[in-house]
Chains A and B, each alone.
Chain A
Amino acid sequence: ELKVEQNPLFLSMQEGKNYTIYCNYSTTSDRLYWYRQDPGKSLESLFVLLSNGAVKQEGRLMASLDTKARLSTLHITAAVHDLSATYFCAVERTGKLIFGQGTTLQVKP
């Protein structure tokens, strides 16, 4: 059974600081996604990672994938308040998309 675990589950950080969210999964995967969710809203796709060593960057967010370690990271650089949201990783295997628990990020001025 595919299991996806994120840590930390809650992260409070100061503006300007850097931090990393980790996503571990239990079996091989076809794709790994990172999503952002604002309160009361749907999921916004941030990154799709397909292969070992994949690295993608958008603004202050950078995602990477290590399929051998079954680990993905979402790195936040110089956080700003607008990044406050819940971030989910999700792993796709044989057509099913399974989510991690989510990491709620709170960026304080």
Chain B
Amino acid sequence: DAMVIQNPRYQVTQFGKPVTLSCSQTLNHNVMYWYQQKSSQAPKLLFHYYDKDFNNEADTPDNFQSRRPNTSFCFLDIRSPGLGDAAMYLCATSREGRQGVLGMNTEAFFGQGTRLTVV
């Protein structure tokens, strides 16, 4: 049974047209990540949520935004997609305990990814 679900699997959008990718999880994990992976490259962390706390990577373009309305869902919004934003977008989740809380951490689980094409 899929535990981290990304929708859609494939997305084609027009240059400059806003697009939203979604990720849902059934694991009740408190941390959710968004990665961008371009062809033949390693996944690159865009941002992550630790509970409701949003953590943006310093080199993530402003064109990329994220929302996490509840524990189960996280969205990636690309406000004005460019040709260079075509990539596989991967969502991942994990459980991280607060400092001093032992035995809470789990490994990261990845979704199946959304392949974004910009035309």
Binding site for B on A (CB under 8 A): 30-31, 33, 35, 40-43, 45, 48, 88, 92, 95-102
Contact = CB atoms under 8 A, between A and B. Distances in A.
Nearest to A47: B107
A11 to B, nearest CB: 15
A41 B113 contact: yes
Contact of A43 (B50, B55, B110): B110
Contacts, number: 49
- The 7 A-B residue pairs whose C-beta atoms are closest, nearest first, are A99-B42, A42-B113, A48-B107, A43-B110, A42-B112, A95-B96, A99-B43
Contacts of B44: 99
Interface string B90-112: 10101010000000010111111
Question: Main SS of the interface on chain B?
Answer: strand
Contacts of A95: 31, 48, 50, 55, 94, 96
Contacts of A97: 33, 45, 92, 94, 108
Contacts of B68: none
Chain B interface size range: 20 to 34
A102 B45 CA distance: 15
A45 B108 CA distance: 9
Given A41-B113, A95-B96, A96-B48, A30 B105 contact: yes
A31 B105 CA distance: 10
A45 B107 contact: yes
A19 B109 CA distance: 27
Contact of A42 (B31, B96, B111): B111
Interface in B77-96: 88, 90, 92, 94, 96
Contact of B43 (A40, A41, A43, A45): A43
